[in-house]
Structure 1
């Protein structure tokens, strides 16, 4: 449970919950979802931040978006649905949805993070969006979280076309390796640099234990996609 919630903060979050279309039984879950680690680190009290809820929300969002696409596109293949999901829940899309909900205005940030524009930073907004999904799930269960995710993703799903989505290099590499070599594909984090508000991750992709490509990005997901793209290029399947 989040701590240090003032009456003003509670009222603001209650107004936000109306905007989200969610009636929280435990509003402190929404408070935690919108508390950045920089705020918790600067506090003299033990205040939970949103990274655990982000982790949970990411998993819930993957299942909800998969179910939604399965229902909306009955003629699409498994490969097409996978690529569409990757495009639907990519960082840019989730950050845009967070901006639409004005989540940045409710983020509790450390002084330095706030001064550096953390309320508008894509990674923070993406994480906040996922953390709110996690909070909805803990507060109301799967049906509430699924309905919330559906409502938020509806406008984005309307823009999707199987032939227009962003390429999912990880899936393409997995399918190619399984078809040609039947070997395992794994990813390992080899470097993490930069301050909390501007992290850079470097990931290596291994095929049967052999390094086949590296990628760098502002998130582990982006780094893995880039590493997979490099591996495909090296394999002559770009």
Structure 2
């Protein structure tokens, strides 16, 4: 069963491993024993920082070092990596020890983020930097395209929540209005209900969390924030 799941994951990430054991190792949490993904995660973290940094350096030719560092931090933080992991549905593919399985480790942001970094490290070892760069850039394309030098450090959901709290208003309410597609390639439509707006903001994305953030960003725009 795991072999079928691994096959589908490779289709989603856009890379097929010549040695399947490399992918298996990248998905092995330390709870399974000594053969785990921690070393690959270490390598992938370094490569990810370089590739994203390079992409930002190329996109923002007039940006200062501090601006580039801030944007890179947003792109490589655990929350962003966990979102990517969920878009690829990595959770069911993880190899976890019994304790982690029982505690829901396949849903934990830190474990999902580590697995993405480990997969990057595994691709680099097998195929080299050019292939690794091409894959990471593809995964991050829409996120980097959406960035601007004035992109705030806090995400839209956090900013909308703080805005509503500052005005003693109820917190935003996010509701899934529609789910389309197969289980491995779902698209979520989310509504953001805000007491200061007469109609909710709707947004679509391949991840519920991303759709929520998009709807929050639209709400902020309507509120003039």
Q: TM-score, normalised by structure 1?
A: 0.62
Instruction: Confirm whether residue 74 of structure 1 aligns to residue 61 of structure 2.
Output: yes
Instruction: Confirm whether residue 127 of structure 1 aligns to residue 114 of structure 2.
Output: yes
3-state SS in 2 of match to 1:150 = helix
Q: Which runs of 5+ in 2 are unaligned?
A: 155-225
Map of 1:36 onto structure 2: 29
Measure how far apart 1:163 and its partner are. Answer: 2.0
TM-superposition CA deviations, 1:134-168 (whole Å, max 9, x none): 0110110001111111011112112322222428x
Map of 1:114 onto structure 2: 101
TM-superposition CA deviations, 1:73-124 (whole Å, max 9, x none): 2221222111110111111111101110011110011111111110010100
Q: Which runs of 5+ in 1 are unaligned?
A: 1-7, 41-46, 168-238
Correspondence 1:138-217 to 2 at 5 A: 138-166=125-153
3-state SS in 2 of match to 1:102 = coil
> CA contact under 8 A between 1:105 and 1:119: conserved in structure 2?
yes
Measure how far apart 1:23 and its partner are. Answer: 2.1
Off by >6 Å, runs of 4+ in structure 1: none
Structure 1 vs Structure 2 CA RMSD:
1.4
> CA contact under 8 A between 1:14 and 1:27: conserved in structure 2?
no
Q: TM-score, normalised by structure 2?
A: 0.65
Instruction: Confirm whether residue 25 of structure 1 aligns to residue 12 of structure 2.
Output: no
2: distance between equivalents of 1:165 and 1:30? 35
Measure how far apart 1:70 and its partner are. Answer: 1.2
Measure how far apart 1:28 and its partner are. Answer: 0.9
> CA contact under 8 A between 1:39 and 1:110: conserved in structure 2?
yes
Aligned pair in 2 of structure 1 residues 140, 134: CA closer, same or farther (>3 Å)?
A: same
1: distance between equivalents of 2:76 and 2:37? 18
1: distance between equivalents of 2:128 and 2:3? 22
> CA contact under 8 A between 1:87 and 1:165: conserved in structure 2?
no
> CA contact under 8 A between 1:57 and 1:131: conserved in structure 2?
yes
3-state SS in 1 of match to 2:113 = helix
